[in-house]
Amino acid sequence: MSIDQITADQNLRDMVNSPKQAFLKLHELQMRLVELEMQNDELRHTQAENEARLRTLVRTIPDLVWLKDVDGVYLACNRMFERFFGAKEEDIIGKTDYDFVDRELADSFCEHDRNAMGAGKPTGNEEWITYSDNGQRALLETVKTPMYDNDGKMIGVLGVARDITGRIQAEKDRLKMEREFQQSQIFQTISDSIIMIDTEGCLANFNAAAEKVCGYTIDMIGRKITEIGPGFSEVLQESLSSNFPREMRCFELCTPEGKNRIFSLRATPVTELDGTVSGTVAVIRDETYLIELERSLEIRSQFHGIIGASASMQRVYSLIESLANVQTTVLIFGESGTGKELVAAALHLSGKRSGGPFIKVNCSALSEFLLESELFGHVRGAFTGAIADKAGRFQKADGGTLFLDEIGDISSAIQMRLLRVLQESEFERVGDSNPIKVNVRIIAATNMNLEEKVRQGLFRKDLYYRLNVFRFELPPLRDRLDDLPLLVTHFIKRYNDKFDREILGVSDNVMDLFRTYDWPGNIRELEHVIERAIILCTSDIISVNDLPDAVLHDPRHASNETSPATYPSSETTRQPLTIEEALVKAGGNKTRAAKLLGISRWTLYRKL
């Protein structure tokens, strides 16, 4: 018999021999059992409370929480999960993703589950999902963690997701605000004036520089740009309506401070990423300093529409400025096509009368009777066909300038009446005896030698001296060939715009030919030659083939054809050279050979 059995039998014998002791021992055991049961109840109660707290916590946290088994069947989910997908817990538990979301989204969820279970550890993911019938989208930041039992067997996946759409949007908004702030800072500090209009042609924004130049105020935003000015507002409207950039060069503007400044403007449509036009932005640059610097250096390439940078044209510009505000009669001499009308217009626009009318009359285009009626007007019944009173050009030019072109062609009768207007500043309409006072500045022009006409008795001497208070002579084009490149470029741009062409310029041969041509029609002839060439040109460079016969077959060129093929050398020896000798001497360089021969390169090409 073992010692344990002997001990147990002894305890049993003791209990039988002592009933009281046995009762006490039993009671002690019962009390111990009750105590253990109470402890177990307390533990169960605590566990239940903890589970309830945990469930409440999981149900109320702002993240989405769910639990799936290894087959993708939902075992639990929290309230945020229900709200996000718009489903009740009882409609989710026991179901799979395919039962309450679209197939594409369900495939994505299941793939992420498989990745987490395959990795055997938590895996993260960010994904844009469409989670409602109205197309709402959200960016979810998701972490899925495999779940195991006590034996280490995988029993499912716990998922936790956070909607970070608001955070991402807030970050985008912050970056956008920073970018807009930076752009605003740049926008406001740019020295050029910037104006923006919307698709309705209303002022949308402007910077500090534009406020100083245009006098804009905040309360003007939203008003039509054409209503608040300044005068360049039509250019912005035109750019908006045509959806094409527009420029305005060297215009004068009086700032709110009362200072006249010279500006240039470029208006450009604003095109969004989808191709729609959201408005127009104009950049206005103050070029007063450059213009004044150009004037101080006496190197102006244009002046009120007159093109030229040669020394003779600089003198013309200076004379115009000197005579602009001197209210005296000016007589402009110049060959046909030299730009006498442009000079007259520049005299008018540069002076105090620029706000008044500028009236032109071509005296050679009208008969004596019609010219008298045009200049002085007539009253009703003055002659057959005079069915109503008519104001003449003098009356229309009151307060401004009257330009009398081809003054040398007027008759003696018109000369006499014109002399009276110049002396007394008054005239009478045809058929009327009541004098009319006018304040008109007279600018006359002619291509004739009026002194010779006076000697021949064809022009009144007193009228000649009255007109010739200041004599203004324009140089012909052949005396200002340095201006040819500027003029050619100007006319090419004009007719490119007119005919929608993209001609870049003229060839060297053409320019050489232009320099040797006599230009009897002066600038007007050059303009017509360029216009014709642009119409005929089949490339982007005007060639000799695009020029008219009159330019190609200049009589001076023809005389050269009959001359011997030897030329005086430009070198000090002055020995005559043949073309062959010049080419050898120049090493085959035709430009240098032409210089050795003392002829133009174009002439050398023709002779070759």
CATH code, domain with 551: 1.10.8.60
Residue 421 near residue 427, CB atoms below 8 Å: yes
Q: Are residues 512 and 466 in the same domain?
A: no
Q: Name the pTM for this structure.
A: 0.46
Whether 305 is in a domain gets the answer no
Q: d(Cα 356, Cα 50) in Å, to the nearest integer? A: 97
SS3 of 347-386 = HHHHCHHHHCCEEEEEHHHCCHHHHHHHHHEECCCCCCCC
The C-alpha atoms of residue 180 and residue 189 are separated, in whole angstroms, by 14
Given this model, what pLDDT does residue 370 score?
A: 86
Closest CA to 278 of 343, 205, 228, 193: 205
Do 354 and 460 lie in a common domain? yes
pLDDT at 586: 78
Tokens read off for 570:
């430009």
| Residue 67 forms part of a structural domain | yes
User: Has residue 298 been placed in a domain?
Assistant: no
> 108 and 205: one domain?
no
Going from the first residue of the chain to its last (608 residues), give the mean pLDDT of each consecutive group of 10, the final group possibly shorter. 56 57 63 69 60 60 86 87 83 85 84 87 80 72 88 88 81 68 58 83 82 80 77 78 81 77 84 77 79 56 82 87 87 92 91 90 87 87 81 90 92 90 88 88 92 91 90 90 91 92 89 90 94 91 89 59 41 59 78 75 66
486 plus 462 within the same structural domain? no
Helix (H) or strand (E) holding 144: strand 137-148
Q: Do 393 and 422 lie in a common domain?
A: yes
| Structural domain includes residue 175 | no
Q: Helix and strand tally (H, E) in the chain?
A: 25, 25
- Is residue 52 domain-shared with residue 66, that is, in the same domain? no
Report how far residue 510's alpha carbon sits from residue 551's, in angstroms, rounded to the nearest whole number.
Answer: 10
Q: What is the C-alpha separation between 28 and 22, in angstroms, rounded?
A: 10
Question: What is the enclosing helix (H) or strand (E) of 29?
Answer: helix 19-60
The predicted pLDDT at position 341 comes to: 92
**Which residue among 475, 506, 522 closes a domain?**
475
Total domains present in the chain: 5
Amino acid 242: pLDDT:
83
95 and 44 in a common domain:
no
Instruction: Tell whether 347 and 437 lie within a shared domain.
Output: yes
**Co-location of 469 and 487 in the same domain:** no
Question: Cα separation of 491 and 52, whole Å?
Answer: 91
The Cα–Cα gap between 187 and 324 comes to 40
End-to-end CA distance of the chain: 147
Note the pLDDT of residue 8: 55
Which residues touch 149 (CB under 8 Å, ≥6 apart)? 155
Question: Is 446 found in the same domain as 517?
Answer: no
Quote the domain boundaries for residue 201: 190-291
Does 184 fall in a domain?
no
